[in-house]
Structures are given as C-alpha cells and as structure tokens.
Chains A and B, each alone.
Chain A
Amino acid sequence: MAHLLPLLVLATTLGSSATSLAQSVGGPLMPLPVLPQVAAERVELGRKLFFDPRLSSNNDLSCASCHQLDHGGADRLPHSLGVDGKPLPVNTPSVFNAALNFRQFWDGRAQTLEQQAHLVVQSPTEMGSDWTTVVQRIAADPQYRSSFAQAYSDGVSEHSIQNALATFQRTLLTPGSRFDRYLQGNTEILTTEEKYGYQRFQEYGCIACHQGVNIGGNMFQKFGVLGDYFKDRGNPTEADLGRYNVTGEEDDRHVFKVPSLRNVAVTAPYFHDGSAATLEAAVDVMFRYQLGRTPSAEDKALIVQFLKTLTGEWEGKPL
C-alpha cells in the first residue's frame, strides 16, 4: 500500500501537467464551440428573414444588406448606409460569431441577439421600421404564416421574428480557422512566423483584451488607454463617446466592446469609426493607444500574419 502512494502522486502530477500543457497551447484563447442544437425550422425562418427587405420601412434593406455573408458578415464600408441613404454613425461589425459576443453593438447596448434585432429594426437610421408594420408584412405572407405557425406557438409575432433571426445568427459560426485547428492540436498547421506572431500577440499584451473563445468580444475597454485617440483623430462624434451614450457615466466615456478578432483579415475597415483600412494600420493604432508601446516592424508583421490565421470557414468555404 505504501509503495502505491508515490505512484498515485506521480500520476496526478502527470495528469495536471498534461492539462497545463494543453492550456499552454491555447492559453487564454479557445477554439470555436460546436454548433448549438437549434430547431431547424426556426433557423430556416431566420435565414429567410435575414434576407428579407420587408424588415425595413421602405422594403429596401435587409439584414444581409450590411451583414453580407459573402463579405465576412459585413460590407467593407467604413459606414454602411441606413434606410435613409445616410451613413450610419459606426462601422458595421461582422455578424459571424456575433452570437459569442457577450453584448451586441459597439457600445454593448443589447444584451441578446433578439434585442439587437429589435433595436436595428426600430432604429430610424438603420431599418427605420416598427414592429407592428414588420409583423403585419410578415404575417401577410402565407408561406411565412404557415412556417411560423409550425415553428412557434404564437405564430408570427415580434417575439418569434426576433427569435428566428437570433436563432439563425447563432448558427453563423466560422469554425475551421487555421488557428483553431492549431489550438485543437494540429501544431503543424501554422508557419513559424505565424507561431511567432501568436507569441508576439501574447507578449505585447494584445491578448489582455482579445482573449476567450471569440478572441475578444467579452469585455468593454476604453479606446485610448495610453493616449488620446480621439484628440489625435479629430472630428469627435457622438458615437465616439461609446458606452457613455448608454450609461451616461464618465467612467464609460470612449468605452467600447472589445471586438472579436475572428475573421479580422476579411472584415476591414476596422474600429467603430471604420478609420483603419488595413490590418497594419489597425495594429498600429492598437499599439499606440491601447498598449502604449512601439513594436518593431518585424513584430508587427508577425502579429498581422498571426491575425490572418484567424479566418474561419462558413458552409465549408473560407470566408
């Protein structure tokens, strides 16, 4: 019995070291989870609604107008055009993996995807519609009516439309990025440069905010921790106030949701104001205002290379 104890301890140690090893590969980053089990008919409804311009007041804009699924879930514009044809105050974030963000919108004013859909439809600058109209329009379509009756006990309603949209968006995950495969144990899939890039990403502290399963999207952060970004940029707008617009607290001035870095290479331009047209420019801004450090050009290039490994696949195709 006595000689068994050290063996046990050894086994435990080995086990724990194995765990820590596994953690050390990913560190604070996690691969995307498997797709959630959701009702297929609701997903289908959500997909239809996502592409349905009847959600906007002038039957012009659908969700997919700005969140183009073949363009990284966004529209490549610094500011998308709203229902009134005028540019919106902030850059359109990608709809891909949005379900994994802890809040929705740059200022995190929506707790859930349902709330997000609700606010977008009602926003006078975005969809410019109201729910009574939307429900009427959708309910007027007999195909929608029968599908909704099958999928929801309350048929076509504000709640069911929002839920269908949200359910569809929960399926918009982009697994299979090279970095995820690396995290899953395929260490050969990244080049040495990319691995160095990941190492720099951690060393410089990018990872302090861009971590978790969505590599960001799980906390708020002040834009301009170590420098006044807005003063340097000029032309301050109301949207620049960020979360302050939601809470009204001084502490929240210029605070934004940290965006996810997944698919970052295909979702330019960057930042809430769409001011950075390239990854390099965005990394520069981050170093300057968030990290307060000046990296070498080599490190910066490595980090950009690393960021490009974060592009995942949707419907089996790379974004």
Chain B
Amino acid sequence: MKLTHRRGLLLLGVSAALLASVLVYLYFMSKADETQNYAQARDLVRQIKQYNSQWENEILKARITISHNYDPLVSPLVEMTRLWQAFETAEALHGQSDTPAWRTAHADYRDALAQKSRLVEQFKSHNAVLRNSLAFLPTAEDGIQAQLGQLADADKLRLHNIATDTYDLMLSSLEFAQMTTDDKAADILVGLNKLAINKDRLPIEFHAPIDILSNHIALILREQPRVNQLLEQIEAVPVAVRLDDITLMLDRDERAVALVDQQYHFYLLVFSTLLVLLLIYMAIRLMRSFSEINRVNRALLSANDELEQRVEERTRQLKDTQSELLDTARQAGMAEIATNVLHNVGNVLNSVNISADLVTRKLRTSKALGLGKAMQLINEHPDDLGRFLSEDAKGKMLPGYLNQLVEAISLEQKEMADELTQLSKSVDHIKDIVATQQSYAGASTLLEPLEVSTLLEDALRMNAGALTRHHVTVLKEYDEVPRIMGDKHRLLLILINLISNAKYAMSDVCNHARNMTLGVKRLDDDTLQISVTDEGEGIAPENITRIFAHGFTTRKEGHGFGLHSCALAAVEMNGHLLAYSDGPGKGARFVLQIPLIIAEGESCPSPATGASC
C-alpha cells in the first residue's frame, strides 16, 4: 500500500519534471532574441556600408581638392575593419556563417574590400601627385610667361607664338584633367613637342622652367588616366554589393530561423493548450472528487446523526435500565447486606448452637443429680445418720461418693463455664457482625493488635462443630509471625468463609483423609500470607477467574456471596485474595495476602501455637 503510494508520488514528480522540461525546451527554442541578433548583425553591415559610402565620398572629394587631408580616406577602412571584426565575432558567437555559402560571402566581401583598399591606396598616391602638378601648372606657366615678357630684344611674333603655345598646352592639360580623352592626350603630346622645340629657340635660362613644366604636364598626362582608371576600378569593386548580399543572406537566415521560431511557437502553443486541457481535466476531476467527498461527508454526517440518535435512544434505554437496575441493585444490596449478615451470623450461630447444645447436654447429664440421690439416702436415715454413715454398707460409701461428686461437679462447672465463655464470644462476634454491618457504609477499618494464630484458632473454633462432624483433619503450618495490626472482623470473616468452603469442598471426599492445611507465612517485610488448602473437589479452570464474582457458586444451596465478600474484604484491607487449583478433584488453595503492619511493641514474631481439632 505504502509502496504503491510512493511509486505514485515518484511517477507524478517525474511526469511533472518532464512536462516542465518540455515547456522550458520549447520556450528556449522559440525565444525571440535570434531576431535581435539578426538586427544587430544587419546593423553592423549597415554601418559598414555607411562607412563604405563615406569612404567613396571622401575619394570623390579628394579627386577635386587640390590640397587634401587623406586621413578621412584611412579612417573609414579602420572603422569598417573594426565593424567587420565585430560582425564576424557576433556571427561566430551565434554559430552562423558555418555554411559554405556564408564562408563564400565572407570571403567575397574580404576580397572586395582588400581589392578596394589596395585601389584606394594607389588612388591616394597617384591623386596626390596629380593634384600637386595640376595645382602647380598655372604657377609654372605664369613664371614662363613673365620671363617671356621680360625678353625685350626678341622677335615679338615668335615670342607671342611661344607664349600662346605654352598657354594652350596648359589649358589642354587642365582640360585633360576634366575630360580625359585620347584627342586631348594627343593635343598635349603635340603641345609638349612644340614646347620642346620652343625651348631650343629660347635662351638657356628658359630651359629649366620649361623642363619643369614639361615634366609636370607629362606627369598629368600619365597620372590623370591612371587616376580615372583607379576611380572606375574603385567604383567597380562590389563592396556594397557584397554587403547587400550578406544582408540578403541575413534576411534569408532570419526568415528561416523565424520559421523555425514560429514552428516552436506553434509547438509551444499546442503544448500549452494540451497543458491547459490537462489542467481543466484535472480541475474537473478535482471538482468531482470534491463533490464526491462532500457527498460522502454528508452521508457520513447523516449516518453520524442517525447513530447519535440511536446512541441517545440507547443511552436513554440504558439509563432507564440502569435506574431499574439501580432500584434492583438497591434492593439486591439490601438483600446482600442481609445475606451477608445472616450468612455470617449463621456461621457464628452454628457455634452458639453447638455451645448451647453442649451446655444443655452437660446439664442434663450433670453429676449434680447424684447429689440428690445421696441426699435421699441421708434423708432416709435422719436419726441414725451417724450409724448409717459408719455401719451401713451404702452409708459407709456415701462420703467417698460425695467427695467424688464434688470433684465431678466442680469439673462440670468448669467445663460449662468454658463453654459459656465460648458462647458469649460467639455472641460477641454476632454483635460485631451486626455492628460492622450497621456501619458498613463507612467501610471503616478498625485496626487492632492481633495474634494471627489466635485469630486462626478462633476461626477454627467457630467452625469446630462442622469440622468435627465432617471428620476434617486440620493441619497447621504456621511460621513465626509477630503480632500485627489488622482488622479482626474482616480477617475472621474471610477465614471462617475459607474454612467453611474448604470443609464443604471436601464433603464428597471419601477415598482419602479430609485434610485441610492452614498456613501462615511472612512473604516479605511488607506482606503476610495466610493460606487455606483443601484436598477437595477443586475448581475447574474456566471457573477460576469467576470464582470471586458475586453470585457465583457451585453449591446447590449456595448463594455465591461468601468468596465475593471475602475478596472485597481483602481489598478493603489493601490486600488480595487469590485462588489456585490444579483442576476438578485436585483440591484448591486460597491465599490471602495482606499488608504486614507489625503491632507496636512487637519486634520478634511470637511462637507458633499448635492445636488440634
């Protein structure tokens, strides 16, 4: 039962944990921060793209500015590299970019960026020198023109032609910077050739400035197409396209992830619905259980009420019965008391009867009658009394007879006096019984110094006649017991009863001697034990517990009062009465154990007194 209960609990726990973990799993699988990661990644790509545009913007600015700060052409790349690193770290962190497509996309971007930065570096170098030379052109040309103007002694027309040629060359060069065409390039080449020819026609001090100018124009002719080409190439590098590709891939991945997310959301929904259904089901079950419990409770309550009613009814009946019983008991109690008294009185009366009988018999057979006969003889011889007494045969015997008679009569008197003392003792006992009975309600215990052996003798004597009649031999096993303080009446009551019972128990015994053993024993310092053992009919084991119950008796004429009152008396003396028997026909032994209270002035137990019946 307990095992099943525990197993049930375990099962419940496991299933609860299982459901919870499924819920948590689904929750984590459907969490939305993936979207945030994608947003972050897209934002990084967007920023890279922004820096890319800024970079291109700066490149275009550098193309037209004469003196330019090239730092802005460096910093976007630095920023882009930094952002790209952040992007790749984030990607790696989220386990993306592991597919070949992603690796390709990353490699493509890196290639494009490397290509572009390489081109930008070249552009910076070439653009710087180109811009420098272009800026220098007017100055260089102005210098030559001024020098030409100072040439006073020359052919004006030729000088003018040279000046025009130089000017045209400069203009062509500047135009070339704006419109880089092959025609312009050819023009410049022609101009350079003319300048070379013109140089030879001019004085030596013109050679250096013209060489410088030619060099710079040649540089422009060389660098301008290169710069243009680089710009075109830079423009053609698909950095932005690659970034867009990455954004597209991010979008696609995000959609895929979102799809999975949605799936898990759906699963979560389904699972939650199932859980809710389960909850509802369990709630219904619970409600049902509750109603069932309530119903049972109500039924129990009504059953309880009914039961209570019945109990009440029964109680009332019982009360009625009890009052009836009480009445009966009161009557019975009175009867019991009467029985008790009568029983005890009856017991003692036996003794009284015997004593009276004895006295009567003694009186009837009294030797005093002999005195009358002797007096008759004397009276027949009133005159010759002396002679009669001395001569007559009868008369001579008379004094001796009278002497004997006196002895006999005095003996008789003594015996009768003894018997009468016994009688008066019995009457005293009857008086005691009645007095005790009269004060029964108080159940007072009068403790007086007692000689246990005397007590036993008294009890025996009170039963003496019956014992003699039934030929019961009394064996005495008295230990040395000091005088005790005890309730004489109760003890006597018990002993008389026990002796009487023993006598009755042996009334049917004829195959062996009717021995009754009286025992007195000091069990320990506090307990005195008096036992009465018979060799009579014994007690059946089933009766041994009932034997002290009121009304129990095995005798036809018995009223089941004796042992009951004995047991009560024993308890009233703070002792107890026990019965032992090995079974029917094996005799019985009644043991009275009472507290041993040694009488004052007693230190040593008095010697046991022996007596025979």
Contact = CB atoms under 8 A, between A and B. Distances in A.
21 contacts: A29-B69, A30-B69, A30-B71, A205-B132, A205-B136, A208-B67, A208-B68, A208-B129, A218-B74, A219-B125, A220-B121, A220-B122, A220-B124, A220-B125, A225-B129, A226-B215, A251-B122, A291-B132, A292-B216, A293-B212, A294-B208
Interface string A94-106: 0000000010000
A310 interface: no
Contacts of A28: 67-70
A203 B135 CA distance: 9
Contacts of A255: 125
B128 to A, nearest CB: 4
B128 A209 contact: yes
A293 B136 contact: yes
A29 B68 CA distance: 9
B354 interface: no
A272 to B, nearest CB: 16
A274 interface: no
A219 B128 contact: yes
A291 B70 CA distance: 18
Contact of A211 (B70, B78, B118, B121): B70
A207 B71 contact: no
B132 A212 contact: no
Nearest to B66: A208
Interface in A60-112: 102
Contacts of B74: 102, 212, 218
B131 interface: yes
B135 A212 contact: no
Contacts of B122: 220, 251
The 5 closest A-B pairs by CB, nearest first: A28-B69, A205-B132, A212-B71, A208-B132, A219-B124
Interface of A: 27-30, 102, 202-203, 205, 207-209, 211-213, 218-222, 225-226, 247, 251, 255, 290-294
A264 to B, nearest CB: 18
Contact of A221 (B67, B129, B216): B129
A78 to B, nearest CB: 25
A208 B219 contact: no
Given A205-B135, A208-B128, A226-B219, A219 B70 contact: yes
B212 A221 contact: no
A212 B124 CA distance: 13
A292 B212 contact: yes
B73 interface: yes
Which of B67, B136, B212, B219 is the most central at the interface, judged by chain A CB atoms within 10 Å of its CB?
Answer: B67
A219 B122 CA distance: 9
A279 B216 CA distance: 25
B70 A212 contact: yes
Nearest to B129: A225
A94 B428 CA distance: 149
Contacts of B136: 205, 293
Contacts of A219: 70, 73, 121, 124-125, 128
Interface of B: 67-71, 73-74, 78, 118, 121-122, 124-125, 128-129, 131-133, 135-136, 139, 208, 212, 215-216, 219
A226 B220 CA distance: 11
A225 B69 CA distance: 20
Given A209-B128, A219-B124, 12 more contacts: A27-B69, A28-B68, A30-B71, A102-B74, A211-B71, A218-B71, A218-B74, A220-B121, A221-B129, A222-B125, A226-B215, A293-B212
Contacts of A291: 132
A297 to B, nearest CB: 15
A208 B73 CA distance: 14
A303 to B, nearest CB: 15
A77 B163 CA distance: 50
A221 B215 contact: no
Nearest to B124: A219
Contacts of B128: 208-209, 219, 221
Contacts of B68: 28, 208, 211
Nearest to A206: B132
A30 B75 CA distance: 14
A220 B124 CA distance: 8
Given A28-B67, A220-B124, A294 B212 contact: yes
B127 to A, nearest CB: 9
Nearest to A292: B215
Contacts of A27: 67, 69
B69 A212 contact: yes
Nearest to B219: A226
A203 B139 CA distance: 10
B151 to A, nearest CB: 20
Which of A208, A220, A247, A294 is the most central at the interface, judged by chain B CB atoms within 10 Å of its CB?
Answer: A208
Nearest to B71: A212
A247 B115 CA distance: 12
Contacts of B212: 292-294
Nearest to A290: B129
Contacts of B219: 225-226, 292
A293 B213 CA distance: 9
B573 to A, nearest CB: 98
Nearest to A214: B71
Nearest to B120: A219
B118 to A, nearest CB: 8
A178 to B, nearest CB: 20
A207 B67 contact: yes
A50 B67 CA distance: 37
A59 B523 CA distance: 112
A247 B68 CA distance: 26
Contacts of B118: 247
Nearest to B69: A28
Nearest to B131: A208
Contacts of A102: 74, 78
A213 B74 CA distance: 11
Contacts of B70: 28, 211-212, 218-219
Contacts of A205: 67, 132, 135-136
A228 to B, nearest CB: 12
Contacts of B135: 205
B67 A211 contact: yes
Contacts of B131: 208
A301 to B, nearest CB: 20
Which of B74, B208, B216 is the most central at the interface, judged by chain A CB atoms within 10 Å of its CB?
Answer: B74
Given A292-B215, A292-B216, A221 B125 contact: yes
Contacts of A218: 70-71, 73-74, 124
Nearest to A203: B139
A247 B128 CA distance: 21
B217 to A, nearest CB: 11
A72 to B, nearest CB: 23
Nearest to A202: B67
B120 to A, nearest CB: 9
A209 B131 CA distance: 10
Contacts of A202: 67
Contacts of A212: 69-71, 74
A189 to B, nearest CB: 22
Which of B118, B129, B208 is the most central at the interface, judged by chain A CB atoms within 10 Å of its CB?
Answer: B129
A251 B222 CA distance: 13
Nearest to A209: B128
Which of B122, B132, B139 is the most central at the interface, judged by chain A CB atoms within 10 Å of its CB?
Answer: B132
Contact of B69 (A203, A211, A226, A290): A211
A77 to B, nearest CB: 29
Contacts of B67: 27-28, 202, 205, 207-208, 211
Contacts of A290: 129
B232 to A, nearest CB: 16
A160 B121 CA distance: 30
Contacts of A251: 122
